[in-house]
């Protein structure tokens, strides 16, 4: 009875922590796993080994074949919080693994574990090739990110007064980009007060931002925070994209979805967040396909995830500062705010009105 009760308690706790638990953590059947095997490779882990680690690029999606994996959240202040345990038939990933982004949680083996590891490019192929299965997986990946955001799990810790201009700016930036984070007030939280005492910030330093590896930033720019968090990557030096899109409002995101779904290599740059002006709209009622209306953030978040599903490289926040049309190789050169140059055979400017 004791063992059964413990298992039931864990299931009840997981269900209460994740209201749409069955959709967020669906179980795969042996037949579905068999269909997925052509997209991945078997990888085994010994007890205590990490499958993925907070702040480091994730290797893709894991399907658990045997054993159990404990998912925990770890912040830069050293706090470790259990999230959920996953066993045979479960898969481990969230929306960031479509593009090999950094992991937002830790996953380590409890006992010996056998998995099917599907890297990002093959995961995207799976979602397209296996339509019904891909729909269930895609929904779960999105819901997991939503759960992390709502629970403040993963991402940076912001420390400072909630009414500080810098706090409001960075909270808005992270929220608009669908990135989990949480805020600690030094007047109420002991760890935050200790950090404030150690770094003695001035009013211009608010907020202090603690990344998962413990690095402390003083009121960073959006671009600086994005790079510190692994949200953006420098373009490959030898790669020439088929299409570069400047701006990620509805027009830019549509371009990314249409181009990437046809097999073109697409890079999308935006200086702040996906969605553009539409992303800040409380209600949009004149957009095709939504007769009852939809919020701008919800609409553009769907498009953003859809573009990633087809392999578009989302480079946010990255500012494009100049366009070079005179290159000898025939490609266009986009000079970025870190002085890197992104090369593309065609450029779509969808930067909107300012």
Domains and CATH numbers, the chain: 2-151 (2.60.120.10), 157-228 (3.40.30.10), 240-349 (3.50.50.60)
- What local confidence, expressed as pLDDT, does residue 86 receive? 97
Q: What mean pLDDT is predicted for residues 282-289?
A: 91
Q: 174-213 in b/e burial notation, b at 16+ Cβ within 10 A?
A: bebbbbbbbbbebeebebbeebbeeeebeeebbbbbbbbe
Q: If we measure between CA atoms, which residue out of 200, 107, 99 comes closest to residue 154?
A: 107
Q: 258-272 in b/e burial notation, b at 16+ Cβ within 10 A?
A: ebbbeebbbbbbbbb
- What local confidence, expressed as pLDDT, does residue 3 receive? 43
Q: How do residues 99-140 score in pLDDT, each as one tens digit?
A: 999 999 999 999 999 999 999 999 999 999 999 999 999 999
> What pairing do the DSSP bridges indicate for beta strands 61-74 and 80-86?
antiparallel
Given a cut of 90, whether residue 342 has pLDDT beyond it is yes
- What local confidence, expressed as pLDDT, does residue 7 receive? 47
Q: If we measure between CA atoms, which residue out of 97, 99, 96, 94 comes closest to residue 84?
A: 94
pTM for this predicted structure: 0.89
Q: What mean pLDDT is predicted for residues 8-21?
A: 58
What backbone phi and psi angles, to 5 degrees, belong to 161?
-65, 140
Q: What mean pLDDT is predicted for residues 216-239?
A: 88
Whole-number percent of the chain with pLDDT over 70: 94
Q: What mean pLDDT is predicted for residues 234-263?
A: 94
- Whose structure tokens read 């960073």? 220
- What local confidence, expressed as pLDDT, does residue 17 receive? 59
Output Rg (C-alpha) for the chain, integer angstroms: 21
Q: How do residues 151-199 score in pLDDT, each as one tens digit?
A: 877 889 999 988 889 999 999 999 999 999 999 988 888 888 888 888 8
């Amino acid at each position: 009875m004791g063992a059964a009760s413990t298992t039931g308690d864990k299931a009840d706790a997981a269900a209460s922590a994740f209201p749409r638990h069955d959709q967020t953590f669906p179980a795969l059947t042996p037949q579905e796993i068999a269909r997925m095997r052509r997209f991945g490779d078997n990888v085994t882990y010994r007890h205590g080994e990490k499958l993925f680690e907070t702040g480091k690029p994730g290797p893709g999606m894991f399907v658990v074949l045997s054993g159990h994996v404990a998912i925990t959240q770890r912040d830069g202040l050293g706090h470790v919080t259990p999230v959920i345990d996953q066993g045979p038939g479960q898969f481990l990933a969230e929306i960031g693994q479509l593009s090999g982004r950094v992991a937002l949680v830790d996953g380590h083996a409890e006992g010996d574990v056998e998995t099917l590891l599907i890297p990002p490019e093959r995961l995207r192929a799976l979602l397209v090739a296996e339509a019904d299965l891909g729909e269930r997986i895609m929904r779960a990946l999105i819901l997991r990110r939503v759960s992390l955001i709502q629970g403040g799990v993963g991402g940076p810790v912001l420390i400072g007064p909630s009414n500080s201009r810098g706090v409001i700016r960075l909270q808005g930036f992270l929220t608009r980009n669908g990135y989990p984070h949480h805020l600690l007030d030094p007047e109420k939280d002991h760890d935050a007060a200790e950090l404030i005492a150690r770094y003695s910030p001035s009013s211009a330093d608010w907020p202090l931002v603690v990344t998962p590896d413990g690095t402390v930033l003083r009121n960073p720019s959006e671009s600086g925070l994005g790079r510190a968090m692994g949200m953006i990557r420098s373009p490959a030096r030898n790669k020439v994209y088929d299409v570069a899109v400047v701006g990620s409002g509805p027009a830019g995101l549509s371009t990314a979805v249409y181009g990437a779904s046809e097999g073109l290599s697409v890079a999308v740059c935006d200086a702040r967040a996906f969605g553009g002006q539409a992303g800040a709209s409380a209600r949009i009622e004149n957009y095709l396909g939504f007769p009852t209306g939809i919020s701008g953030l919800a609409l553009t978040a769907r498009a953003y995830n859809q573009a990633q599903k087809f392999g578009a490289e989302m480079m946010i926040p990255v500012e494009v500062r100049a366009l070079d049309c005179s290159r000898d190789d025939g490609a266009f050169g986009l000079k970025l705010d870190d002085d890197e140059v992104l090369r593309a055979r065609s450029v779509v400017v969808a930067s909107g009105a300012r």
